[in-house]
Amino acid sequence: MKLELLNYTPNGEMTIAQAGKLCYSAVGVGEIKEDLSQEEISKYIEMLIRLGHYSPLEHVSFTFAIEGVSRSLSHQLVRHRIASYSQQSQRYVKLDNFQYIIPPAIEANPKAKEIFLKAMEADQEAYGNLVDSLYEKNYEDFLAKGYSQKKAQSQAEKASIEDARYVFPNACETKIVVTMNVRSLLHFFQVRTCNRAQWEIRNLATEMLKICKSIYPAIFSKAGPGCTYGPCPEGPMTCGEMEKVREKFRSI
């Protein structure tokens, strides 16, 4: 997995404090800013989060580039709807040698890994055969519609890979750019850094949290799984390792 922070809102903690205080102030943001020290900003943001006044947090966002992750992960990631996503297309990008993610449990099991690798090889072969099988008919159809030879070739390949991609597995590697505001990120970290989250997205969420916290420690001071600073929200489905989890995320 490759994770890169592309951009984030500058002066984020000040922005949140100004936005929050404006709701209850008779003066403008300029005067509000003059009266705020960093210590006051940190305490104010902590209070906002504690009271559940989250709307000011939406004024600050982070943009990440994520590579070397599976389609299984991206299907989970895009369920977080208050975000923006730009993902590598399998309709327009021909994957002649597709990359894939091997789960650690399969990597550690020689027999399982052998089965897995054979399946990946079969998927790649099937993809190539499907593209070749579909191309000739698609090419003829586009020529019949009056397309030039060059355009018919381009459109025929696009149409062929558009359908051939259905053979690819969840393990197929993908690349995606995601932008989330702080409110969405805090919820994302709460559910996806939990021990009960799937291993791949849990690893991603944890690394994203480290980056966010290093930039704005006041905002993300208590970010992490739901049990980090309170009872486990999973009830009877708890992992039973709350103390270890708390120690881990309080030390990030």
Active site residues: 192
Among 186, 224, 178, which residue's Cα sits nearest to residue 57? 186
Residue 161 to residues 57, 141, 168, 173, 243, Cα–Cα distance (Å): 42, 16, 11, 16, 49
Among 10, 91, 66, which residue's Cα sits nearest to residue 178? 66
- Which residue shows structure tokens 């975000």? 83
HEC secondary structure over the chain: CEEEEEEECCCHHHHHHHHHHHCCCCCCHHHHHHCCCHHHHHHHHHHHHHHCCCHHHHHCEEEEEEEEEEHHHHHHHCCCCCCEEEECCCCCCCCCCCCECCCHHHHCCHHHHHHHHHHHHHHHHHHHHHHHHHHHHHHHHHHHCCCCHHHHHHHHHHHHHHHHHHHCCCCEEEEEEEEEEHHHHHHHHHHHCCCCCCHHHHHHHHHHHHHHHHHCCCCCCCCCCCCCCCCCCCHHHCCCCHHHHHHHHHCC
